[in-house]
Every structure is written in C-alpha cells, then in structure tokens.
Amino acid sequence: MSARSDDVLEPENMNDTISPKRRNVQGKDLKSKNPNMPYKELMNDISRTLGIGYNSVCTTISEYKTTGTVSSPNKIRSKKSLFDKIDDLDRNALRQKVHEREDLLVWRQNFLYDIRKYREEGRTVYYFDETWINAGNCVEKLWVDKTIQSKHNAFNRGLTTGATNPTGKGQRLIVLHIGSHNGFLEGGLLCFVSKKNSADYHDEMNGDNFHEWFESIIPRLDPNSVIVLDNAPYHSVRTERIPTSSSKKQDILSWLISKGVVIDRPMFKPQLLAKVKEIKGRYVSYVVDNMAKDADHTVLRLPPYHCELNPIELAWAMVKSYVKKNNTTFKIDDVRVLLNTAIERVSSENWQNFIQHVKTEEDKLTQIEPCILTITGDTSDSSDD
C-alpha cells in the first residue's frame, strides 16, 4: 500500500517537527538591544519577561558566569520548618491555637469536668502512654578541652579528638507504662525491641497486643479507678464495626435491620447512611472501655492534641534524660538496663509534682471568656421576668 504524499514529512521540515530549534536567550536579546542598560534594570526585565524571581535570575546568571553551566534547582527543602524543630508539647500548643475546632473545645471541657469530679470522689486516676528510646540516644552536648592543640597532643594525653556518640539511631525500644500519684505501677512496664524501621513508633502496636497488656494490668489497679488514655487507633478498637461511606450498600442495610430499623421502601446508599448516623451513637463501644467496665473501672479519653494533660509525658522526659546522660555503650541491652533504673528513680513525689503541673494546665484551659455565662439552677434574675 502506498502512503499518501501529504502524510509524509518532507526532510527539510523533519527537524522542526521532531526537535524545535532553541530560541535565543532573552537576556542576550535585551543586552544587544540596550547595551548601556544598567545591570539591575536588565535583571528586572529578565525577571518580568520569564516570570522568574529577581533573586533567582541573579543567582543563575552569576553561576553561569562562574562555572559556565547552570545546575537544576534543588527541589528538596533542606531547611527544617519551625514545626520540625519543636517538640510534641509545643506542636500540640500550636495545633490548639490554629485548629481550635468547636468539637475539640467541647471534648476538652467535658474531660476537665470529668477528671475533677473523679478526683473529688477519691478515685485513683491512672495515666498511661507509650514512648520509645533508641540505643544511640545520648546527650548531644560534648565537653571541649580547648587546651588540645593537635591530634598528636591529644593522643599523648590519652584523649580523642572526635565525637564518639552516635546520633540517636540504631535499635529502638518500645515502652509502655502506667502510673498514678503513687508512682509507676509495679509490674506495669511493657518493653520490647522494635522490629520495624518505621519513623512512627506507634506502628509497632496493634489492638491484640495492647489488649493483652491491658488485661494483665487491670488486676493491679486500685478498686474503682479511672484510666486516662489517648486516642491511638489501638486504644479505640470498637466492639463492632459500624457502617461507613466505604461500606457496601447491602452491609449497611443488613446492619440497620439487625438494629431493628424498618426499611419499608427502596433507598439510596446516602439515605441508609443518614439512618446509620441517627442511631450509631447507641452502638459505639470500645473493647478497652468494656474490659475496664467489667472490672468496675472507668476509661477517660484525652482530647486530641492535649498531651500536656498527661503527667506521664513529664515522667518520660525524666526517664529519657537519665538514659541519655548515662548511655555510654549504645547497646540495646545496656539501654534496657538504664531504662529500668531510670523508671525506678521516678518516685511518687515526682509523680505528684507532675500531676500538680498538669492541674495548673487544666486551670488555664478551664478559663472561659467572661461573656459566656455559667448555667445554674437559679433563674430568679432572668431578664424574661
């Protein structure tokens, strides 16, 4: 079969189609047309013409003059953001200021009311949390002997000129514990070596191993106690799965019927989900809460982004500080020994100070704007009278 002549590219046109000719650099055109144009004005014109920042233009031209080439821009941000430089407590404080949702405010005020009520009732309040410690954790500051003039001088004095401390990497211990005003609970420690290389230590936990640990803790608690925990996924495993928008329509329908909801006409999936939303509050139940309730204990959940209301965070800071100061071998077994010693060093007096600090934070969060009135049973001064 012969090809049509208009389907075939002429040889002289092929280069234009396959690889277009490169245009002249705008800067050269501007310079040739305006040879006496000041440098700064020339850079501004190039910036406006190409839509590139003035500083980028100056940097690129300077690099070309120096090296004869231009490197590709570095798309990886090497400078850490403020959020990367601060610790968890400061991050949570920023989240609260920037993302103070109304539902979180309600959750927080309910938590503060409940925790105070339980304390007034004389119930023991236990706090627990997870943390991690790397085998390479150590104090970052190094002592510097300014009298050392050379490596040879250091060698003769039996000293080293290099830092021997790792950077905090290596094997990692995942640690769980629980404590109250009486200190860390005896027999409450769970510690194991991480098997994952994830940046988030929470990835090591799941509902099954957490529930096993929690079940072993319950008999050790004071009667009718309160257990404060956060909202990690493995703390919030539900006793039954409630349908969501990702559920199949038939599964949603079956769940509604199992709860006694009458479906007397055909419905779209969004209509069925609306009915789920109406009644799901009756059926939201967590495995951990039920385990505690069966033993006459109460679970109280911290509002999200409020780790400053958990005194065990201060206990962890004390524990990690001891491990870092005394870690000289950077071996995971030795770090485990240091961890146990550090935990033993946290006394009941320390815990009471931690809790008192948290109470101070609670007081700050309880302060409500003067325009919001406290509702009481006395309505004699109502303006409606």
pLDDT for 103: 83
Q: What is the SS3 assignment for 305?
A: coil
Q: What is the DSSP letter of 2?
A: P
**Overall number of domains in the chain:** 2
**Residue the block writes with tokens 């208009």:** 6
CA distances to 170, 219, 313, 347, 349 from 341, rounded to whole Å, are: 21, 25, 18, 12, 17
Would you say residue 260 lies in a domain?
Answer: no
pLDDT for 97: 60
Would you say residue 296 lies in a domain?
Answer: yes
pLDDT of 24 above 70: no
122 and 32 within one domain: no
Would you say residue 74 lies in a domain?
Answer: no
- 53: containing domain: 9-67
pLDDT digits (tens, 9 = 90+) for 91-117: 666 665 654 678 888 999 999 999 999
Which parts of 121-206 fold into alpha helices (H)? 151-156
225 and 296 within one domain: yes
pLDDT of 301 above 80: yes
Q: State the average pLDDT for the chain.
A: 79
**How far apart, in whole angstroms, are the C-alpha atoms of residue 45 and residue 50?**
9
The whole-model pTM stands at 0.64
- Tell me what the mean pLDDT of segment 336-361 comes to: 97
26 and 55 within one domain: yes
pLDDT of 118 above 70: yes
pLDDT digits (tens, 9 = 90+) for 156-193: 555 544 445 555 567 899 999 999 999 999 999 999 99
pLDDT for 207: 77
- Tell me what the mean pLDDT of segment 119-123 comes to: 97
**How far apart, in whole angstroms, are the C-alpha atoms of residue 138 and residue 324?**
4
pLDDT digits (tens, 9 = 90+) for 231-284: 988 898 999 999 999 999 999 999 999 999 999 999 999 999 999 999 999 999
CATH number for the domain spanning 320: value is 3.30.420.10
